[in-house]
Structure 1
Amino acid sequence: MGPKTNVIMVVAGLLAAMFIGALDATVVATATPHIITDLHGQNLFSWVFAVYTLTTCVATPIFGKLADLFGRKAVFAVGIGLFVLGSILCGAAQSMPELIWFRALQGFGAGALAPVCFTIIGDLFSGKQRGKMMGIFSSVWSVAGLLGPLIGGYFVDQVSWRWIFYINVPIGAAALLLVVLFLHQPIERRAKKIDYLGALTFTVSFSTLLYALLSGGAEHSWNSPLIVGLFMASAVFLMLFLWIEKHADEPMIPLSIFRIRVLNVTNISGFLTFSITTGLTVYTPIWIQSVLGNSATSSGLIVMPMSLAWPLAANIAGRLMYRVGAKTSIVFGSALVVAGSVWLIALQLNSPYVFWIGILILIGLGMGFVATPSTVVVQSVVGWEQRGVANASSMLFRSLGQTVGIAVFGTIYNQHVTSLSSRSELAAGLHAVFLLLFGIAVANMLAVMLLPKRRNMMAQQQVGG
């Protein structure tokens, strides 16, 4: 087969891998009642989601560095292999603790999917083609968000909840075969030094941080000795990690990449904007159901406008960013997110349902114009040997934004809401969350203004390749 055919096959495999990784984030929620009925352990069920988030966050930078050290193909194979094995074990779980442990394994494998897939695309394509491909790959998340509830509902109703995990096996196997067989990249034969201490201290630091964020305010109060101790432990191990990285021969995360202004700004932006989308995904259905009194189905469907607008804008941004400049696209997208958040805080108790559609379309379009150019420029300001690490840092900050956002929004919401039957209390709690979303959107707007001018940014992209 010719080089062009090989690239098409690899892209198909990467899309399949990204799809099952993104699908898993939405499809499991649909099966929640049936899983609890079968396995019991309702008080543990939140950890089915939390442990997946935790291990994915921890694994992302580790796999990013390994992809730079040992080549993309080998690390992709290990990641998707762990994800598929975790999926098989999740489908076969006989108790809630078993499911939680198997979800941890699945999440660890998922930590390789997005950063390594984006890194391979960055290797295979350059210039305008890279922007177009990033737009297509960003769309996978939105498509999975739309299809997840439908696929999950079908398996739960017609077959068994276990098939929401088993469906990953044939798709994952196809993705693995396509990438392994058709991806041809030179592997540099040299002694590799793995930063074991860096990986260990990073894992401890971020595991304790994420556990504290996911448990604080719910299972334990924020000022409890356990949560305070976890935050302190996280800070200590983070300082250790930074010291190790400064002196390591082959650091897991080279601190030198944080001297690159473009990377720092896009990471901050990713942290802020992905916390906004997570807040919207969680709290929009509460307003639709509890304040407006609409059905659960209509509240589930309300996220669809954002899921459709995001990939549309991502594809437009991927095609236009080399004409108008990456900064122009990111600033324009950030302005749309601010506009959507202004509309959000202007909502009243009697505001019509259609207002929500407008808000979510605005923010979805804004996210598409921000996320795709951000991913492209992150890849373009570093060389091949650091592309995996740069991608992984970007994914890590986005995941942290989601996790920190959930913790902070939940704390603010719970301070206002003491009774779920009080419509005015619910609205007050939600308005407090929406005000914070507006503040985050403004902070993001200010951050992206610090990106270099178009000419400087494009020059960096050309050097980066």
Structure 2
Amino acid sequence: MPKETNRKMATVAMLVATFLVAIDVTVVSTAMPKIVADLSGLKLISWVFAIYTLTTSVTTPIYGKLADLFGRKIIFIIGVILFVLGSMLSGAAHTMAQLIWFRAFQGIGAGAVMPVTFTIIGDLFPGEQRARMQGVFSSIWGIAGLLGPLVGGFFVDHISWRWIFYINLPVGLVSLILITLFFHETLGERKSRKIDYFGAITFTIGISSLLYALLNGGSKYAWNSAPIYTLFAVAIIFIILFAILETKVTEPMLPPSLFKKPIILTSNLMVFLSSGVLIGVNVYLPMWIQTILGHSATSSGLTLMPMSIAWPLGATFAGRYMYKIGSKTTAVIGAVLIALGSTWLLALSLNSPYWYFVGIMIVIGLGMGYSTTPATVLVQSAVGWQMRGAATASNTFMRSVGQTVGVAVYGTIFNNTIVTYGEKVSGGKMSGESISGILNSNAAVSKLQPAVLEIIQKTLAHTLHNVFVLSFIIGLATLVVTLFLPSHAKVLEQQKQTKPSH
């Protein structure tokens, strides 16, 4: 007889793995000044984060399908091993270029951990319990957001920045031991377990080209430059080729049938849009606080903390009451809060008090918790075991792409407005490029003459207002899309039609 899974210990293994990946972003952010000082390569600093995001996003759907074909356990173990290996290599890096390559490797591992973790939770727990567990796992991201800067600061100040990567080894081993000993699954029989190699290759080339163009457009390359045009052309060609291939193969990497289900289509579009609001707030609110209000970098960073508390709270409440008030109602509450928070962004002015920013982070954080939990549960409920990995991965992937597209669009608006409005408000005394240069140097802002500082602050306030107008539009779009989610009764009927979890 096959061994039975110890749900409690398997869940602990998932929680440890989630914490491992979640804390990585905040820990690395805290340590970057010291890393740059040791390895040099300041111009490459953004790629330490961008390459990790790119490889994670591209591999997520691939791992989701592999988990459906070969089981969750083996794919999860492979993901954790790759993540830990990438961490060890990153800790041993001697140049910034090496660190970037090793972070890419680390991201390949992370691409498996998150979607497979949520898929396993979907397998282990039925509907209402599943919703509650999604809330618990969302809280891990909040805890990681709070502990990350503290852990990163401790290692940098008292040991070495390299230990922010090395510490992943013992933590990863704990997760691997627990999942090996306590999680057991019975794979459903399949006539074939063919890997969609051509689908994976065309998807990787197409999405990598798209994300690379979005990450570099307007910064490394002008949007109307040959490299960007080439990247978009490659992206379009290979994504179309991928879509055609998926209709021809027996085991498609992203089954086209997934996108014919209104629940999955609407949920994925919802998280894509809400992630666009999220990245705008996380990137640009601290900039307002630091440059316009004159607060320290630490203070501006702490502004993000209320979201780290509000999000898991929202996710916990959503998971607890979703099956009482309805999944659609829960998601709509989240979308309303996101829309209200993005509306509040429009009210910001040069005289806005600090508590406005804390309030905005709390409202949007609660909204994200209330909307993302039902989105994940609904996507998993719409399919049976053999497609749950791919469905969950599609949802995770759309969140990543939403943030990447958001960063690109916001960045374009920001850079263009700084140049045009900066020259206008200064009466031609300062060029847009000089204003942009000052904003890129926090040290320079504190030493500016009052007249110049006023120009900088007015320019930045107007620029960020334009950015927040787009956030407001995306927030409203999130609400509109959420209203099209199927009703709770229809979702329950869908669940009855799907096979029980293994």
Q: Normalized against structure 2, the TM-score is what?
A: 0.91
Cα deviation digits, residues 126-175 of structure 1 (max 9, x gap): 02111110000111111111111111111111111101101111111100
Higher mean C-alpha displacement, 411-420 vs 3-12: 3-12
Task: Give the Å deviation of 1:62.
Answer: 0.5
CA distance in 1 between counterparts of 2:177 and 2:307 reads 33
1:267 alignment counterpart: 268
Higher mean C-alpha displacement, 440-449 vs 182-191: 182-191
CA distance in 1 between counterparts of 2:99 and 2:166 reads 14
Task: Give the Å deviation of 1:34.
Answer: 1.0
1:250 alignment counterpart: 251
Cα deviation digits, residues 36-91 of structure 1 (max 9, x gap): 11111222221111110110011100000000000000000100000000000000
Task: Give the Å deviation of 1:296.
Answer: 1.2
Cα deviation digits, residues 197-243 of structure 1 (max 9, x gap): 00000000011001101111000000100001100100000011011
CA distance in 1 between counterparts of 2:58 and 2:368 reads 25
- In structure 2, the CA distance between the partners of 1:103 and 1:290, relative to structure 1 (3 Å rule), is same
CA distance in 2 between counterparts of 1:91 and 1:309 reads 32
**Where do residues 13-52 of structure 1 align in structure 2 (5 Å cutoff)?**
13-52=13-52
**Where do residues 400-411 of structure 1 align in structure 2 (5 Å cutoff)?**
400-411=401-412
Letter in 2 for 1:242: A
Letter in 2 for 1:30: T
1:75 alignment counterpart: 75
- In structure 2, the CA distance between the partners of 1:448 and 1:179, relative to structure 1 (3 Å rule), is same
CA distance in 2 between counterparts of 1:270 and 1:312 reads 18
1:130 alignment counterpart: 130
**Where do residues 32-431 of structure 1 align in structure 2 (5 Å cutoff)?**
32-188=32-188, 190=190, 191-417=192-418, 418=432, 419=435, 420=439, 421=453, 422-431=456-465
2:469 alignment counterpart: 435
Asked whether the equivalents of residues 131 and 376 of structure 1 are also in contact (C-alpha less than 8 Å), the reply is yes
Task: Give the Å deviation of 1:462.
Answer: 3.4
Asked whether the equivalents of residues 56 and 108 of structure 1 are also in contact (C-alpha less than 8 Å), the reply is yes
CA distance in 1 between counterparts of 2:298 and 2:50 reads 25
Letter in 2 for 1:221: A
Task: Give the Å deviation of 1:454.
Answer: 2.2
Letter in 2 for 1:369: Y
Asked whether the equivalents of residues 67 and 388 of structure 1 are also in contact (C-alpha less than 8 Å), the reply is yes
Cα deviation digits, residues 371-404 of structure 1 (max 9, x gap): 1111111100000000000000000000000111
Letter in 1 for 2:326: G
Task: Give the Å deviation of 1:341.
Answer: 1.1
Letter in 2 for 1:299: S
CA distance in 2 between counterparts of 1:5 and 1:67 reads 17
Letter in 1 for 2:415: N
SS at the partner of 1:247?
Answer: coil
CA distance in 2 between counterparts of 1:300 and 1:413 reads 20
Task: Give the Å deviation of 1:452.
Answer: 1.3
Asked whether the equivalents of residues 26 and 148 of structure 1 are also in contact (C-alpha less than 8 Å), the reply is yes
Task: Give the Å deviation of 1:456.
Answer: 1.1
Task: Give the Å deviation of 1:27.
Answer: 1.1
CA distance in 2 between counterparts of 1:48 and 1:359 reads 29
Asked whether the equivalents of residues 326 and 454 of structure 1 are also in contact (C-alpha less than 8 Å), the reply is yes
Task: Give the Å deviation of 1:189.
Answer: 5.5
How many residue pairs match? The answer is: 464
CA distance in 2 between counterparts of 1:187 and 1:458 reads 25
- Given candidates 473, 485, 490, the residue that maps to 1:456 is 490
- In structure 2, the CA distance between the partners of 1:384 and 1:188, relative to structure 1 (3 Å rule), is closer
Task: Give the Å deviation of 1:459.
Answer: 1.6
Letter in 1 for 2:292: V
Q: CA RMSD, aligned part only?
A: 1.3
Cα deviation digits, residues 330-381 of structure 1 (max 9, x gap): 0111011111111110111101001111111111111111011111111000
Larger radius of gyration: 2
Unaligned runs of 5+ in 2: 419-431, 440-452
SS at the partner of 1:148?
Answer: helix
SS at the partner of 2:157?
Answer: helix
Task: Give the Å deviation of 1:181.
Answer: 1.1
Letter in 1 for 2:412: T
Asked whether the equivalents of residues 325 and 458 of structure 1 are also in contact (C-alpha less than 8 Å), the reply is no
CA distance in 2 between counterparts of 1:338 and 1:330 reads 12
Task: Give the Å deviation of 1:461.
Answer: 2.9
- In structure 2, the CA distance between the partners of 1:160 and 1:235, relative to structure 1 (3 Å rule), is same
Task: Give the Å deviation of 1:5.
Answer: 8.0
Task: Give the Å deviation of 1:306.
Answer: 1.1
Task: Give the Å deviation of 1:278.
Answer: 1.1
Asked whether the equivalents of residues 82 and 108 of structure 1 are also in contact (C-alpha less than 8 Å), the reply is yes
Asked whether the equivalents of residues 266 and 394 of structure 1 are also in contact (C-alpha less than 8 Å), the reply is yes
Task: Give the Å deviation of 1:187.
Answer: 2.5
2:447 alignment counterpart: none
CA distance in 2 between counterparts of 1:202 and 1:317 reads 34
CA distance in 2 between counterparts of 1:229 and 1:182 reads 49
CA distance in 2 between counterparts of 1:462 and 1:407 reads 41
Letter in 1 for 2:469: L
Unaligned runs of 5+ in 1: none
Cα deviation digits, residues 377-434 of structure 1 (max 9, x gap): 1100000000000000000000000111011111111112231351000001110111
Task: Give the Å deviation of 1:192.
Answer: 1.4
SS at the partner of 2:294?
Answer: coil
Percent of matched pairs sharing the same residue: 54
